[in-house]
Copies of this chain bind each other. A is one copy, B any other.
Amino acid sequence: MPQPPQPRCPPNCHACGLRDFAAFTELPAGALDAINRARSHTTVGRAGSTLIRENQANSQLYTLYSGWAFRYSTLKDGRRQILNFLLPGDLMGLQQEFGDDAAHGVELLTDCALCVFKGDSLWELYREHPRLGYDITWLAAHEEGNVDDNLLTAGRRNALERVAMLLLQLYRRLDRLGLAEGGSIEFPLTQQHIADALGLSLVHTNKTLRRLVHLGLHTIEDGRLSILNPRALARIAEYYDQPPRLLPLL
């Protein structure tokens, strides 16, 4: 699957291409400078590579600038659960930063551009710009909300509802970032990823996807997902639109 080249993160945050999107909040003067100082460097990662290994503590803190990634954890016999997907603007490595117990891994789904923060810059940022601390808590709470949704999905929705949920969820997140075009988005997931995100087997995921295609609700072709009937998908998943909110961006 050929990846489109990912735009590289500019060396200075003032030139940040992400911040131009309408989806993100404005920052008070000075805060952007502080972020720029807290940043160690920018880098890129290859699709399929492991950015943060499971149970690895003291990793670095990242902002995903472009591309897709996901958080996951696995059991010893190989069963894997994808916890949530990470899209541009998402913070990665926060739990590792807090030295938390049994932390998840992070793997890149596509080639990605990343902002890397200095190892000890987080506390500095809180101290000098409490507003940024507030924003980071917001991001953490928001991500937890995503995981909450995924837990409801894995625990209480059936296979058809789960798949509908995932497709719609991803479409909406991309759309909010301005990355949807005419009802379709880039879609780098394999069916194995979908299965691992939903707690289903690969085979059953395949059959369920085909069922939705057969119902005319979506298609996945050439690495793009097209949502053909958002209303029907929303009804199946019981997942209705929320008013878009501005996201903090670090």
Measured CB to CB, the residues of A under 8 A from B are 71, 73, 75-76, 79-81, 83, 94-95, 97-104, 122-123, 126-127, 130-131, 133-134, 136-138, 140-145, 147-152, 154-157, 198-199, 238, 242, 245
Assess the A75–B133 pair: CB atoms within 8 A. no
CB of A199 to closest CB in B, whole Å: 3
Partner of A137, one of B79, B101, B133, B199: B133
Task: Please indicate the chain B residues that have their CB under 8 angstroms from the CB of A148 in the complex.
Answer: 71, 73, 83, 104, 147
Q: Which of B83, B99, B144 contacts A245 (CB 8 A)?
A: B99
Contact B140 A101 (CB under 8 A): no
- Cβ 8 A contact of A238, one of B75, B123, B130, B156: B75
Q: How far is the CA of A184 from the CA of B233 in the complex (A)?
A: 46
Report how far A75 CA is from B151 CA in the complex, Å: 12
Residues of chain B lying within 8 A (CB to CB) of residue A80: 156
**Bound complex: CA of A101 vs CA of B148, how far in Å?**
11
In the complex where A126-B134, A148-B147 touch, is A155 in contact with B101 (Cβ < 8 A)? no
